[in-house]
Structure 1
Amino acid sequence: MTRTEETGGHGRIIAGGEAAGEVLVCAEGLSFWGGVDPETGTIIDVHHPNHGASVSGRILLMPTSRGSCSGSGVLLELSLKGLAPAALVFREREEILTLGALVSDRIFGRPLPTISLPDQAYDQLARAERAVISGRRLTADDLAIALVETSAADLRLSETDQALLNGEAGPAARQAMEILCLMAAAEGTAELVDVTRGHIDGCILAHSANLIFAEKMADLGARVSVPTTINAISVDRENWRSQNIPADFGLRASRLADAYVRMGARPTFTCAPYLLDDAPRSGDVIGWSESNAVIFANTVLGARTPKHPDYLDLFIAMTGRAPASGVYTDDGRRPRTIIAVTPPPGPVDDLFWPLLGWLAGRASPDHVPLLTGLEALHPSRDDLKALCAAFGTTSGAPMLHIAGHTPEADLPPAPDARRRSIAAPDFVEAWQELNRGAERIDLVAIGSPHASLSEARRIAELLDGRRCAPSTHLIVTIGRDVLRQARDEGLVDRLNAAGVRLIPDLCWCSVIEPIFPPEAQGLMTNSGKYAHYAHGLSGRHARLGSLADCVEAAVGGRAPDGLPGWLRI
């Protein structure tokens, strides 16, 4: 008998298929969006230990994924191009890449085996050089692991759910419900929950798969059944033709946005739907995608939504139903990591918050944390927005708690909650990691996530009649609703007069040349999220600073010299 058969261990098949290949082990989770090149399968996240390795054709092991909900789309793109991993193997619950594998198999007929293994079997497989998945068996060296198929047979469905499964609302709704049921089974729940609204993330033309998927679903007759907003897209929807965007790209990006509008979604085109006038309220059960939006909704607003992968967000909006697991449940919202934060002794600026979010994600990459020690500080909504966005780059968790500041921070931690700490040396390390860029600044990027009205006001105040340097661009990406309010206040005219460019509909996650000035090499941002992903998205390392630092860099053409004052210990 093999080692695993002797211990009685077995794994679960979540998405089936046959596979063989070399084993690639990622000791920490990887965000496929911003972390894997959809054109080559190469890991491009410079902060990841496996940077430079290729996932294509490999048996890819990682504890779970992390980062953006858009990873499912990157995986589908790789699958459609024949560049996907041979198989995915996880040891913890994982939704983003699992959903991408199910869509690849169920909608496009391209199997991508996805397996969940218990700890011992996972550790044994991680020491192997090659592995084979065939039928209900995974073999590697002298290791053989029995596999059982995940079944949705025990799921308790309503009459409406069953009617959708039976195809009574058409093929698109049937496929949506089938995949929802498989995801529920994979997540270990027998229930679906009603949601009151949705938010669609997969509308950025980062690759062809998003357009192929959206138009396929629209052509099949897909329609949302609950109020649904749309994330930022890849072009300024109304003005791209005058912005020297290549016609083919602009038309395809518009077709992608139009496909979701055809399916009944509201053309909000913002990655910060919590800034809209009808933002969710505490206790609302919603079905959102987009990592920063999900984390902010749970953490700051007290609404309830897991970090749904791209494409599952559409299925949830179509059916009004979602797997009743994770942070939909009280237990799923309990902190399982307690992070004691020691802030610097003196006053901090707004750079503190994205650095803290990035560090908190590293300290709790797969569990909801509780941050303590910050009770005497006074973060604004914009500070919390920046923290949540940065947290999502390094953690797969859909929320965090901050003692003294967030509505559910008094939830009792799990009895086995891990304890971690963050202190001044950690902030210095984070600053150094996210400030690899040049000191000369050609481009200042604000609006990842989309800028708020208060941020637009603050930029105008900081400029105080000054202009951006002739060689430095200051570009703010902003939701069209917030832009309308800024225009009504006269802020747009003031900012334009100072050389600031405000662009609606797209955000820095989707900005390409020539909106991203091709000649720009020195890049600065106030976004921990964009500083983390910038090199993978643009080929440029970034500098990260406060909003005041960014404005000074735009006026003077240079980043601040060295650490911020509050970190010079």
Structure 2
Amino acid sequence: MIADDGNGSAGRCLVDGHAVGKLLHTDMPLSFWGGVDSFTGQVIDRHHPLSGRSLVGSVLALPSGRGSCSGSGVMLELLLNGNGPAALVLERPDDILTLGVVVAEEMFERSIPVVVVGPEQFRSLARAAWVEVSGSVVRRLSRPEQADGAAAPGSVPKEPPPGVQLTEADRALLAGAGGRARQAAMRIILRMAGFHQARRLIDVRQAHIDGCLYTGPAGLRFARLLCDWGGRVRIPTTLNAISVDRRNWRRQGVDAAVGEPAGALADAYVEMGAQPTFTCAPYLLDGAPGRGDDIGWSESNAVVYANSVLGARTMKYPDYLDICVALTGRAPLSGCHVEGNRRATLRITVPSCPEADDSFYPLLGYHVGAVAADRIPAIAGLEQAGPGADDLKAFGAAFATTSSAPMFHIAGITPEATTLEAVLEDGAESHEVSLADLAAHWTALNTALHTASGTDSDSTAGLRIDLVSLGNPHFSYAEFKRLAALSRGRAKDPDVQVVITCGRATLEAAAVDGIVAELERFGARIVTDVCWCTIGEPLFPVTARVVMTNSAKYAHYGPGLSGRPVRFGSLADCVAAACSGRAAGQPPGWLGVAASGSAG
């Protein structure tokens, strides 16, 4: 419970400490990456009720995080630059935000209290003006003078959490036998094992690092410390997309104040033995894991794809826990590593929509993620539709944007869902998706249709488009082929820029087959190492006012990250906009009636 005045009452303390601050309360989960400015602490997610508010010095109460694994990196930056919240009160545990606090505490002696209070107490907290957090105790205050006063700061745990069985090799790493970097990594892993009440650690066969994304100087300090302490990965490790095109950022005109530290961060992870793959779609690489493989992947869309489509087993590892797993080769036996934790507790029924274009799957993923929140869903109704790998990629990226769940099942499509009953828990809640649901999300994602920048439109000519954004997540070889077919024999409007992001390996394959040359003749620009959630000016054209994309993920994050409104549509819509310089202001035909109703 949460008490007014008195002695307060206890929740579950995830990170110890004491704080008093004005309450900033929301009922909607928030992704710190793409949702909070890592330098100022302002909420930049334009779809969130806290948009424009500052977290600085507040007691932030939210149900949980969601979306990107990089939220831990943003949290670390905020705590080290002094623009973070004073405390974090959660309705349910959240690995990503908590891990950012743990790293700040373990590596930099900076911390804030983190406490979980449960649904009833979380709702009652909304009535408070000020809040005091002391360890596991949360008190509502009318004014700050009612606080008990400064309490002793929280203490960093010195011993492994009780109940976690360690091997002799684990104990040796914890004692420093593998060097200081692996010792620090093992301490952080064990704290997360304690949060999950894991009984033991397991071996993992590969890792994918999302912490190589530059969120500010704190992330670089963290990586350099591990390098200076002799950190070297023990398992095959790939790197996510970074904040600059590592080989070309100077030619692209990127400011050295951004390019140099972003490049130095990437170099630090390569120095620790990670492969410079620089892709947010590691499932497209040779050596991708298979069904039943225990892995340690970060990057939200990659985690969801690995668990759901490949049948591999990974938690949604936060940034910085990913490199800890790579340095030790060990991970907590918890989350989706455990068979029973992979079952669905929500049944989603999808209507038949044979006329839908490829915008259907990102819209559906966006809606299912919002409904699921932290629950794993099992989806029925797509058996005959037979979504392909790129459809599942688009669905999963959108799902991971609005959900904190690490996976989904689709009956008859994903490997574990041979039948719905094979993955669904008894008594699971049911939800039916309607076209009106998808239409509401289409309207919400098309911010260019209801902002000042979207006024350059009329019912005949449509909305003026300046930039077409493709490759979030990174383009696959099959997507390159499809884009080439759609653009073949057509001329791009010279005033519209088309920029595609992809991994280096995919670019090489597309170049060998002549696809890259064909798209460049069309006028497209192809960039590696970065993805759209990391692109800033000038690679993002300074003069572009309105962006068109086929990614629901970027349609969600783009307005906050770039400051530009977005028009969302299918890949064919994007090509049409590139050629005409305009996009229709109306929804696609398969969604039109429902969308018109939702807009009204």
Same fold (TM over 0.5): yes
Instruction: Measure, in 1, the Cα distance between the counterparts of 2:556 and 2:436.
Output: 19
Amino acid at match of 1:37: D
Q: 3-state SS of the aligned residue for 1:107?
A: helix
Instruction: Measure, in 2, the Cα distance between the counterparts of 1:508 and 1:335.
Output: 31
Deviation at 1:479, TM superposition (A): 0.3
Residue matched to 1:339: 348
Q: Provide closer, same or farther for how the CA distance between residues 501 and 339 of structure 1 changes in structure 2, counting only shifts above 3 A.
A: same
> Any conservation in 2 of the 1:14–1:149 contact (CA below 8 Å)?
no
Residue matched to 1:247: 256
> Any conservation in 1 of the 2:8–2:137 contact (CA below 8 Å)?
no
Map 1:121-200 onto structure 2 (within 5 A).
Answer: 121-134=121-134, 137-141=137-141, 152-200=161-209
Deviation at 1:148, TM superposition (A): 12
Q: 3-state SS of the aligned residue for 1:193?
A: strand
Instruction: Measure, in 2, the Cα distance between the counterparts of 1:125 and 1:367.
Output: 24
Instruction: Measure, in 2, the Cα distance between the counterparts of 1:3 and 1:241.
Output: 56
Q: Provide closer, same or farther for how the CA distance between residues 6 and 326 of structure 1 changes in structure 2, counting only shifts above 3 A.
A: farther
Per-residue deviation, residues 117-139 of structure 1 (Å, max 9, x unmatched): 23443333333221222356432
Which one is further off, 208-217 or 158-167? 208-217
Could you tell me which of 361, 370, 375 is aligned with 1:353?
A: 361
Residue matched to 1:513: 537
> Any conservation in 2 of the 1:69–1:309 contact (CA below 8 Å)?
yes
Could you tell me which of 280, 290, 294 is aligned with 2:289?
A: 280
Q: Does 2:217 align with 1:208?
A: yes
Per-residue deviation, residues 80-105 of structure 1 (Å, max 9, x unmatched): 11111111111212100000010111
Q: Which runs of 5+ in 1 are unaligned?
A: none
Instruction: Measure, in 2, the Cα distance between the counterparts of 1:89 and 1:33.
Output: 18
Amino acid at match of 1:526: N
Map 1:393-472 onto structure 2 (within 5 A).
Answer: 393-409=401-417, 410=419, 411-437=422-448, 438=454, 439-472=463-496
Which one is further off, 485-494 or 38-47? 38-47
Per-residue deviation, residues 55-76 of structure 1 (Å, max 9, x unmatched): 2211111121100000000011
> Any conservation in 2 of the 1:440–1:522 contact (CA below 8 Å)?
yes
Residue matched to 1:372: 380
Which one is further off, 553-562 or 349-358? 553-562
Instruction: Measure, in 1, the Cα distance between the counterparts of 2:37 and 2:113.
Output: 21
Which one is further off, 229-238 or 112-121? 112-121
Instruction: Measure, in 1, the Cα distance between the counterparts of 2:446 and 2:268.
Output: 39
Instruction: Measure, in 1, the Cα distance between the counterparts of 2:384 and 2:312.
Output: 25
Instruction: Measure, in 2, the Cα distance between the counterparts of 1:41 and 1:440.
Output: 33
Could you tell me which of 497, 500, 505 is aligned with 1:481?
A: 505
> Any conservation in 2 of the 1:343–1:423 contact (CA below 8 Å)?
no
Q: Does 2:579 align with 1:555?
A: yes
Instruction: Measure, in 1, the Cα distance between the counterparts of 2:178 and 2:484.
Output: 51
Instruction: Measure, in 1, the Cα distance between the counterparts of 2:256 and 2:6.
Output: 61
Could you tell me which of 536, 539, 546 is aligned with 1:522?
A: 546
Q: Does 2:528 align with 1:504?
A: yes
Amino acid at match of 1:105: E
Deviation at 1:278, TM superposition (A): 1.2
Runs of 4+ in 1 over 4 A off after TM superposition: 1-9, 142-145, 147-151
Residue matched to 1:45: 45
Q: Provide closer, same or farther for how the CA distance between residues 20 and 4 of structure 1 changes in structure 2, counting only shifts above 3 A.
A: closer
Residue matched to 1:258: 267
Could you tell me which of 486, 492, 502 is aligned with 2:516?
A: 492
Amino acid at match of 1:39: F
Residue matched to 1:218: 227
Instruction: Measure, in 2, the Cα distance between the counterparts of 1:54 and 1:246.
Output: 27
Deviation at 1:379, TM superposition (A): 1.2
> Any conservation in 2 of the 1:12–1:149 contact (CA below 8 Å)?
no
Instruction: Measure, in 1, the Cα distance between the counterparts of 2:541 and 2:280.
Output: 22
- RMSD over aligned Cα atoms: 2.2
> Any conservation in 2 of the 1:236–1:506 contact (CA below 8 Å)?
yes
Instruction: Measure, in 1, the Cα distance between the counterparts of 2:524 and 2:386.
Output: 29
Q: Provide closer, same or farther for how the CA distance between residues 206 and 343 of structure 1 changes in structure 2, counting only shifts above 3 A.
A: farther
Amino acid at match of 2:527: I
Amino acid at match of 1:91: E
Instruction: Measure, in 2, the Cα distance between the counterparts of 1:8 and 1:396.
Output: 30
Per-residue deviation, residues 267-297 of structure 1 (Å, max 9, x unmatched): 1010000001211111111000000000011
Per-residue deviation, residues 209-265 of structure 1 (Å, max 9, x unmatched): 222221121112111110000001122221222111122322221111100000010
> Any conservation in 2 of the 1:2–1:144 contact (CA below 8 Å)?
no
Deviation at 1:564, TM superposition (A): 0.4
- How many residue pairs get aligned? The number is 567
Which one is further off, 303-312 or 150-159? 150-159
Q: Provide closer, same or farther for how the CA distance between residues 128 and 117 of structure 1 changes in structure 2, counting only shifts above 3 A.
A: same
Instruction: Measure, in 2, the Cα distance between the counterparts of 1:311 and 1:20.
Output: 28
Deviation at 1:184, TM superposition (A): 0.8
Amino acid at match of 2:425: A
Instruction: Measure, in 2, the Cα distance between the counterparts of 1:149 and 1:128.
Output: 29
Map 1:533-548 onto structure 2 (within 5 A).
Answer: 533-548=557-572
Instruction: Measure, in 2, the Cα distance between the counterparts of 1:403 and 1:207.
Output: 42
